Chains A and B, each alone.
Chain A
Amino acid sequence: MLKTIGKKYGFYIVIVLFWLLMTLLGNAGMLTSHFSSLLVPMTYYAIAAVALNLCVGILGELSIGHAGFMCIGAFSGAIFSLLTKEVLPGGLRFFLAFVVGIAFAALFGFLIGIPVLRLKGDYLAIVTLAFGEIIKNVLQAVYLGVDAQGVHLSLDMTTFRMEPDGLTLIKGAQGVSGTPRNSSFTVGIIVLLLTLFLVHHLMDSRDGRAIMAIRDNRIAAEATGIHVTRYKMLAFTISAAIAGAAGVLFSHNVTTMTNISNYFNYNASIMLLVYVVLGGIGNINGSVIAAMILYLLPELMRGLNRYRMLIYAIVLILMMLVNWAPGVQERRRRLKAFLKTRLTRAGKEA
């Protein structure tokens, strides 16, 4: 009994313990302000990595446009918060911002999924890349504002005229600013736990098994009567929605989104993919650990100054090798077996 609980919920307990430890240390003033400022980004990159792993590992479709969904969540959540900044109390507003961000990301995931999921493999990857770039480029060029005359939307700043009392929401490349800083480590951890719960339960459910059956053998799955398109859409939309939640956390942490190509371009999508691949494709908990460690790494190496990005790249290669090179894996397995026999023998002797 205890074992099954440990197996099923062990990782949740570890995360809660991590949260407890960090909160206690933070309250005791033992964390540097640098380290405590890293905790929130760590949680939302972990959530985004889980979202991508659902698409890449569980559904088996390579997406390199997930930063685009994060971008949608970030913008729609931020805009909602800006609009209701004066009207709603902080907690409720932030919760609703999540609802809005997730809904929009899911909607776009659904719409983009319709053409994209007709493709397979490399083609699908390239089209998701293109959609990610489209989302980013449109949001970078659009001007959006609300005033007494209604909503203004323009792609050209010269025709974008607002009443003096109007509220400019998106200002082209100058982005969205003034989002309230609502994200905290606690909220991030709660969203992460909910995400993990959702994804784990999806994997154990009837729908999840159908999705994994499609991944393993599409033809066999179709032959057993699984509605392939429906389940693909389901997984892709959920994946986009979770990425949207990560985006909402992002925009309520950074508060100023200018030069968005730095966070939401294909490099950002590839970075998420790196988290997923390093943590193990299909291994949801692995993504969380990989995202957290890889986000922390370049920050903790600040002491190395200008060499840190170089060293980060080398560490990345080494980590990939240690984790996934067959030769090293074999050696690790043998070392483990050796240690195990040693330990059992030691145990018997004692």
Chain B
Amino acid sequence: MKKRVLAMILTTALSALTLAGCGGGGSSTTGGSAAPATSGGGTAAAGGSFKIGAIGPMTGDGAAYGLAVVNGSKLAVDEINAAGGVNGFMLEHKGEDDELNNEKSMNAYNTLKDWGMQILVGPTTSGCTIAVSDLAHEDSMFLLTPSGTAVDCVKYDNAFRVCFSDPAQGTESAKYMAEKGIGSKYAVIYDSSDPYSSGIYESFNAEAAAQGLEIVSAEAFTSDSNKDFSVQLQKAKEGGADLVFLPIYYNQASLILKQAADMDYHPVFFGCDGMDGILTVENFDTSLTEGLILMTPFSADATDDLTVNFVKKYQEQFGEVPNQFAADAYDGVYAIKAAIEKKNLTPDMSTEKICKGLMEAFPEITISGLTSSSLSWDASGEPNKEPRIFAIEGGKYIVQ
């Protein structure tokens, strides 16, 4: 009897699941994309509009980054539509959550594919981008990640990125330090459990050796022990380091600044693009950031028209000051617009054709955006732009 009840419950549950699965298929307008890849991916979306998907963590730990990417790309799409679209075609936008998890990111990608996505702006983080790029490569879907920094993110020819790669950030940082002669002894505190942080450290370490920078201590922490940095700071202090390189995210950096000040240790701190956002940390004395140097592509304090306009609109719509993730995504959408115009692509083309067109167009375009005044791409997927270095003075980013 018990078994029979169990079987009954199971059958009901399974049929419910099946219905749910089919329901999703029914609502999607593109029957072709639901079928296995052989059918040629998403065919034309109704109404002659390009469907652009965005993926990022919108809940949980990395929510700030994912929301910024989804919001930033949405803002660009809305602007472009208001100005008459791309060659007269409208853009459609949809964001999906990946919870900072490769597996869920693949699910998010497939959800967007069912929706009829033709171009992907995302995912937001490196691990997810690598996982999704496998799928995007199989499907010939054009992938432009705003902020996936790991080397492997753009290993396929259909994947491009807006940000600098991890090695580029580490190398540029070491070069800048050597060039400007900031500091004489260097310490590094990095997150060994984070691919972004350890990736930057790896290349920084190599370039520092080439430039003859003396690294007196390089201490790691992990995501499970990212609250107390007194040991790492003590080592840096004992080694006599006058510059501490922090290739980590701003929330941990804010704790490091606080704890360094508490132990009366005042070196120059130097961060990469993950440091962007440190002025927004709650309950944090931002005067501690005075003199902090960071390499980031975007400053919301910049006074050029494009940035002012972007920051104003973003604040109106989402109630926050945008960060570099939003700016990268915003530039990404405009780059796609430029590439579509260059090759006169139309939404009724197959996903493969659009992908091929964009792949050919990307190395040929140059755009002026928020993150660089002249942004262009290699065929390998890496962007060409000058690194931007800021120092924080009086709670504002000042260009160096």
| A positions within 8 Å CB-CB of B | 6-7, 10-11, 14, 18, 21-22, 25-26, 29-38, 41, 133, 137, 140-141, 157-158, 172-175, 177, 181, 253-259, 261-263, 265, 285-286, 289, 292-293, 296, 299-300, 302, 305-306, 308-309, 336
Contact = CB atoms under 8 A, between A and B. Distances in A.
A172 B195 CA distance: 8
Given A32-B114, A137-B222, A262-B102, A7 B21 contact: no
Q: Counting chain A CB atoms within 10 Å of each CB, which of B6, B58, B101, B199 scores highest?
A: B6
Interface residues of B, number: 64
A29 B35 contact: yes
Given A29-B36, A35-B24, A157-B198, A296 B127 contact: no
Given A32-B28, A255-B134, A158 B114 contact: no
Contact of B18 (A7, A25, A254): A25
B152 A177 contact: yes
Contact of A306 (B5, B13, B97, B193): B97
B218 A300 contact: no
Given A173-B195, A302-B96, A21 B10 contact: no
Interface string B193-234: 111011101100100000000000010101110000000000
Contacts of B222: 137, 140-141
Contacts, number: 163
Contact of A258 (B25, B34, B102, B113): B102
A172 B28 CA distance: 41
Nearest to B131: A256
B25 A30 contact: yes
Nearest to A8: B3
A21 B6 contact: no
Contact of B110 (A7, A37, A257, A305): A37
A70 to B, nearest CB: 13
Contact of B59 (A10, A41, A261, A306): A306
A38 B107 contact: yes
A75 to B, nearest CB: 15
Contacts of A254: 102-103, 106, 131
B159 to A, nearest CB: 13
B127 A18 contact: no
Q: Closest 7 interchain pairs by CB?
A: A29-B35, A258-B127, A35-B21, A34-B110, A174-B195, A32-B114, A34-B111
A38 B21 CA distance: 10
Contacts of A285: 6
